[in-house]
Amino acid sequence: MKRNNATILNIYGQFLLSKGQFAEAAQAFLNCLKISPDHYESGLALSSLADARGDRKAARAILNQVARSHPVIWEGKPDPHKPTLLKIRGIEGSAYRIVQQSDGTYTNVLRGGHFSIRDFVNQEQYNLMILNLLENNIDELKNIPKFDLLLNTIACPDRKRVSLLAAARFVDCYPHLPVINDPRRVLETTRERNYLRLNLIPGVSFPKTEKVRWDGISFQAIASEISGLGFVFPFIVRLVGSQTGSSVKLIENQQELYSHFQNSPANREYYIIQFRDYRNAKNVYNKTRVFFIDGNFYPVANLFNDTWNVHSGDRYNVMDKTQWMQDEEQSFLNDPVGYLGSENLDKLYKIRDLVGLDFFGIDLTILPDGTLFIFELNAAMRHNFDHAKNFPYTEPHLRRISNAFDAMIQNHLH
């Protein structure tokens, strides 16, 4: 009876959370935990609610406790007739966050250093078991239920180094099972490593990238270090471990550098990235995204903007009002080989062979001299249908990507 009451309270709390009634939801989840102290979903929800009200310390403590109590958990009821995927994720450096969905309701999701499988995997075909890595908890795991494939969703080698090392040790325990995205291969995709290795491919350029540490005190020391490393203004400063544009700043001069670090977290590492003005002949910036899935190339997006830091959400700055930009994207999606050219496609396949991941993405542009200029390469790339309604020509290509990922799982299983 108590268990049933806990279930009802959790369902009620999830309903209140979805409606944005956060205080009432928190009370429902607390009442659930009084009955069932290790309730998984209520614990995650409470962590996200603490995060939403700015209490990051409490959010972290709750999330860590949930992970310790539930290192392995089923998502849904397992069906003995379906294959089982073990989804590996790392709790360190991540947080459960409350996000508003397109229909106006709210939900809580894990954010930080992973790629989402929501639009990649047809979960009706599989049992899904989650491995929550925290510190060295894999060393204590015993009697894990049988599974058929390891799906490593940890994608950021900077933020998730500890988790990836743990995941690598875990994968080693199952040498007979297929793995999607070997953790050791993911560890190789830091910006520093990409800078060192991608420039070895003729016709490919990855911007000069170095890592520095800001102690919060010695501005002159960090400015001298950046200069000594050979960077010239303008250059980009980016907080290590971030995968969005929120921590990125283009620095034009010494005063801007000083101001930026004075307002940045201390005792953290930052990437310094040499900036290149890559505006095209029409004086706009272009970023093209491609995926490699199971060794095959897929076009994802071809974006244009009048500012240098281009993201998918920027479609609504100029692209939605500019037909030629949409025509360019359609040309790329419909005939990526013709759009990029066979030589650039060959370069992309050389990158694929070097990286060796089952799934990853590349953000790039083609410079006037034909050089393939790479902004970013990693597995921490989002796949969703957020903009398909407003840009309907993208939908079949996005669907093809979802189908390709699911086909990859099937190929690995058989």
pLDDT at 253 over 60: yes
312 with 362, same domain: the answer is yes
Return the HEC string of 186-212: HHCCCHHHHHHHHCCCCCEECCCEEEE
Query: How confident is the model over 25-46, as a mean pLDDT?
Result: 96
Whether residue 44 is contained in a domain is answered as yes
Q: How far apart are CA 272 and CA 227, in angstroms?
A: 11
How far is the CA of 270 from the CAs of 47, 102, 192, 213, 257, in angstroms? Answer: 28, 33, 11, 6, 12
303 with 409, same domain: the answer is yes
pLDDT per residue as tens digits for the range 287-305: 999 999 999 999 999 999 9
Query: In this predicted structure, what is the pLDDT of residue 58?
Result: 96
pLDDT at 1 over 50: no
Whether residue 84 is contained in a domain is answered as yes
Q: Residue 359 — pLDDT band, cuts 50, 70, 90? A: very high
Query: In this predicted structure, what is the pLDDT of residue 247?
Result: 77
Whether residue 233 is contained in a domain is answered as yes
Query: In this predicted structure, what is the pLDDT of residue 68?
Result: 93
Whether residue 202 is contained in a domain is answered as no
Structure tokens at 387: 């903009």
pLDDT per residue as tens digits for the range 132-158: 999 889 888 888 999 999 999 999 999
What's the number of domains the chain is made of? Answer: 4
Contacts of residue 342, Cβ cutoff 8 Å, sequence gap at least 6:
none
152 with 255, same domain: the answer is no
Query: How confident is the model over 221-233, as a mean pLDDT?
Result: 97
Query: How confident is the model over 198-209, as a mean pLDDT?
Result: 98
> At 102, is the secondary structure helix, strand, or coil?
coil
Higher pLDDT, 302 or 243: 302
Q: Residue 313 — pLDDT band, cuts 50, 70, 90? A: confident
Q: How far apart are CA 342 and CA 66, in angstroms?
A: 50
55 with 24, same domain: the answer is yes
53 with 113, same domain: the answer is no
pTM for the model stands at 0.93
Query: How confident is the model over 311-322, as a mean pLDDT?
Result: 92
Closest CA to 340 of 380, 378, 381, 286: 286
Query: How confident is the model over 7-14, as a mean pLDDT?
Result: 96
49 with 93, same domain: the answer is no
99 with 128, same domain: the answer is yes
- What torsion, rounded to 10 degrees, do the Cα atoms 182, 184, 185, 186 define? 90
Q: Where in the sequence is the domain holding 169, given as residue range(s)?
A: 71-184
Query: How confident is the model over 317-332, as a mean pLDDT?
Result: 96
Structure tokens at 279: 């505006």
Percent of the chain with pLDDT over 90: 92
Query: In this predicted structure, what is the pLDDT of residue 4?
Result: 67
pLDDT at 2 over 60: no
What mean pLDDT value characterizes the chain?
Answer: 95
pLDDT per residue as tens digits for the range 372-402: 999 999 999 999 999 999 999 999 999 999 9
